[in-house]
Structure 1
Amino acid sequence: MISDVFRKAEKCSKRGNLSFFDIESTQVCSTWRAVSRSDLLWQNLTRRIWNREQLLLSHNTWREEFMYRHRTANNFRLHRYTYRTLQFVPGNQNNDNDGISCRRLALSDHYLAAGLSNGSVCLFHLPSRLHLSTFHPQHRDRLGRFSIAVSGIILSDTQVVFASLDGDIHVAIINHPNHPRRAHLGDVVNDGALVDFTGCNQWWVGLYAGVPGRAFHVWNSETEELVFVGGSLTNPEAVMGWHLLTDQVTEFVGRIRVTSHETAMASTSLRVMVFDLRNQGIVLGDEEFHRELVVGCVDASDESILLVDSRGLASVRRVGTLEEVCRFTVRGALQRDVLGCINGGNAIICTAGVIRVWNIEHGAYLYSFRDRIGDANAIVADERHVAACSRDATVHLWDFGAQ
């Protein structure tokens, strides 16, 4: 009985079918009514479907958490959202903001972080839509005009961990008056440029380009100890990695993402690799592509990977095996600066300022956002929000949260 409930709950959640969970309805059987009183059941369902381990502060039970997330997923399916633009003053030590652009975006339950080309990170409070603070890195001699540009952010509701192209990693405590602490001093000469950076509660993971055989760096996030260096994924992109430090390069050299199963997925324009973070030398999947991938569209969420090639053919793959789940066509993928991201149920892709949404279970096209944003520098999504930053440094935020 319980296993049947799990299977039906997961199926209904992905399809946005609310009637199954409306336990007040006379159409629901008495057995389901009895089972649904167990908060442990709702906790297990929430963990299984949305990979949630903690309740939102506003929720007292796991049933409330589940219903909120289910209705929010339904809002994504039905195109229900509120739209806002966010304003920030990036600033730097010279109060000179000319030419500053947004390079990275990251979301948590309550915050949005924007990483800028001047090395700083702006933090917004999502419930109030206010710009709370700007974190500035510890400065040192630059190794190139753009060497301090933010190349990745790990964001929680308590701290911000951000990295720059020169390999420096800083840790800032949210709502703490002190300046960010430099947790790792980069070594560009021996490692190359840190082209992407991500992580989770247990790991920090960096993707480097510039020095052969040192593509991946993995740190234990609790001890901040470097536990692994290796990999040849970005060897062909070494020259491009060096150019990022000195030139205004708009293409992405590579992407790296951490999934919910303690694995990491990394990609360049011609190759995708998945490896185990607990056993860093173990490669779980490795595939080369004859047709170039749009690296700015490569993303991963839970068990799914989004890939888009240069002819506009998009595919959703399983993390562990790289097996294809579905495919669809993206109009405008031949244009430059196409960006994409993925959450638990949807692929979100921006082309020429238009953001379109596809279902990742069957590849069905759902809709396009009503709001046009122009060319974008960065885009990110989670199970409630989609955020993007356009070339004019405006941060756009779409909130699909259940009311």
Structure 2
Amino acid sequence: MSSSEEVGGGGRRRRRGGGNNGVWPEPFLEALATQMASSSINRLAAAQALSNLFQVCSTWRAVSRSDLLWQNLSNRIWNRRHLLRPTWRDEYVYWHRTSNNFRHRRYVYRTLHFVQANNNDDNNDGLSCRRIALSDRHLAAGFSDGSVQLFHLPTRVHLSTYHPQQRDRLGRYSRAISGIILSDEKLVFASLDGDIHVVVIGGADTDPPRRAHLGDVVNDGALVDFTGRDRWWVGLYAGVPGRAFHVWNSETEQLIFADGDLTDPEAVTGWHLLTELTDLVGRVHVTARDTAVACTGPRLVVIDLHNQGLILRERSFQQELIVGSFDATSDLLVAVDRRGVATVRRTEDLDELCRFNVRGASQRGVVGSMNSSGYGVMCVGEVIRVWEVENGVYLYSLRERVGEVNAMHADERHIVACSSDGTIHLWDFGAQ
């Protein structure tokens, strides 16, 4: 007796001889595919797991045409929430190939040169890049004079330079940029004096940045780091006891709470940042779980953004962390200690996942970053090296030497670093 296949209702039925019907609802198969891809040993292996699943039979292969499936997979595997290509399957394939390029050191290297300020500020003795941020189409670099320069990534063209609203300075570097939040539609940047400014990208070039929050250094201390995600802005302060964390609702721009003692031991250093560019005091990152993970040299904490900054987990270290090496995604964090040992931990519980050695970090400063695809990037001296952070495997060094690096950032497609000679170095691993 011959068999036939048909699609009906909300699922696909495979009809067999002898009266036995096998029912494979489409949602079940899509959930199975998602589970198999998510449980793969790494993100690149997910593609092979999916291919094996779709070869079971024509009914299962038909599930591979579900755009909803590829949207879920792009979100879960590659953290993509916005469609930039014709279909979600194309989106998934693009980021798979880009991650494969990242793993095997296939990239295009370019440089950008930021525009020197043209003003009469007696204290302006050359710009120092303090923060770098990336979106799909833009790159933003924030400098010691308080300016933020915006570039168009596909063309590497300088688009605009934004300056904060002027007010009395409380130190030579009180306007220095301490954090940038960047999307393709909006730029939010903060300075050490606590001011937060907002720019709508694509608006009139003559529109100045709008000040969303007026800082209060005397009562809050210096804003040493600033970041955000989805509905949150989070600032890390040092200088006034019990005021380490400030959290805003990013939609209303209203301050929700100010609390925390993470940076209390670094209060004096926080004040010094206003007059001299010293080592970083602390860093903070927001996860997708509505928590923030932050570190100073001796301490690491996770706070609940919903519950007035309640400390969920914390860990102290005998060997102090190099704050500039610290970075975190929603799932993992990485930091290098003074011995040159990098530790990768889960952000959920701070349990250690693996370790690897960063040669030379104990003698010299290290600047680090990590992307959501599982690659950690560390710059020691003039060399930038790449690891797989989920297992601590060293992959390679970038070919180019960049000199002393002031700021660095990595996303799923790019590595960008700004060196002290005024050059922005850009490595593009995007699938061609």
Q: The TM-score by the shorter chain falls in which range?
A: over 0.9
Distance (whole Å) between structure 2 residues aligned to residue 131 and residue 280 of structure 1: 40
1:61-210 map, 5 Å: 61-94=87-120, 98-176=125-203, 177=205, 178-210=207-239
In structure 2, relative to structure 1, the CA distance for the partners of 1:92 and 1:165 (3 Å cut) is farther
Code of the aligned partner of 2:80: R
Q: What per-residue deviation string (whole Å, max 9, x for no partner) do you get for residues 210-263 of structure 1?
A: 0000000001111110001000000000000000001231x1100001112221
Q: Do the aligned partners of 2:199 and 2:210 also contact (CA within 8 Å) in 1?
A: yes
1:1-400 map, 5 Å: 1-10=29-38, 11=40, 14-15=43-44, 18-20=47-49, 29-56=57-84, 59-94=85-120, 98-176=125-203, 177=205, 178-249=207-278, 251-344=279-372, 345-400=374-429
Distance (whole Å) between structure 2 residues aligned to residue 392 and residue 280 of structure 1: 42
Distance (whole Å) between structure 2 residues aligned to residue 21 and residue 109 of structure 1: 27
What TM-score, normalized by structure 2, do the two folds share? 0.89
- Aligned residue-pair number: 399
Q: Which moved more, 1:171-180 or 1:275-284?
A: 275-284
- Report the CA distance between 1:154 and its aligned residue: 0.4
- Report the CA distance between 1:335 and its aligned residue: 2.9
- Report the CA distance between 1:2 and its aligned residue: 3.7
Q: Do the aligned partners of 2:33 and 2:50 also contact (CA within 8 Å) in 1?
A: no
In structure 2, relative to structure 1, the CA distance for the partners of 1:172 and 1:152 (3 Å cut) is same
Distance (whole Å) between structure 2 residues aligned to residue 330 and residue 402 of structure 1: 29
Structure 1, unpaired ranges of 5+ = none
Distance (whole Å) between structure 2 residues aligned to residue 338 and residue 13 of structure 1: 27
Q: Which moved more, 1:277-286 or 1:230-239?
A: 277-286
- Report the CA distance between 1:387 and its aligned residue: 0.4
The RMSD of aligned alpha carbons is 1.9
Q: What per-residue deviation string (whole Å, max 9, x for no partner) do you get for residues 105-157 of structure 1?
A: 00111001000000000001000011111001111111000110000000010
Structure 2, unpaired ranges of 5+ = 1-28
Q: What per-residue deviation string (whole Å, max 9, x for no partner) do you get for residues 284-334 of structure 1?
A: 211111110010011011211111111011111111100111111110111
SS in 2 for 1:370: coil
What TM-score, normalized by structure 1, do the two folds share? 0.95
In structure 2, relative to structure 1, the CA distance for the partners of 1:280 and 1:49 (3 Å cut) is farther
Distance (whole Å) between structure 2 residues aligned to residue 51 and residue 335 of structure 1: 36
- Report percent identity of matched pairs: 62
Code of the aligned partner of 2:344: V
- Report the CA distance between 1:29 and its aligned residue: 4.9
Distance (whole Å) between structure 2 residues aligned to residue 29 and residue 316 of structure 1: 40
In structure 2, relative to structure 1, the CA distance for the partners of 1:365 and 1:337 (3 Å cut) is same
Q: What per-residue deviation string (whole Å, max 9, x for no partner) do you get for residues 332-387 of structure 1?
A: 11133310010121110000110101101211101110111011000001111110
Distance (whole Å) between structure 2 residues aligned to residue 301 and residue 68 of structure 1: 21
Report what 2:26 is aligned to.
Answer: none
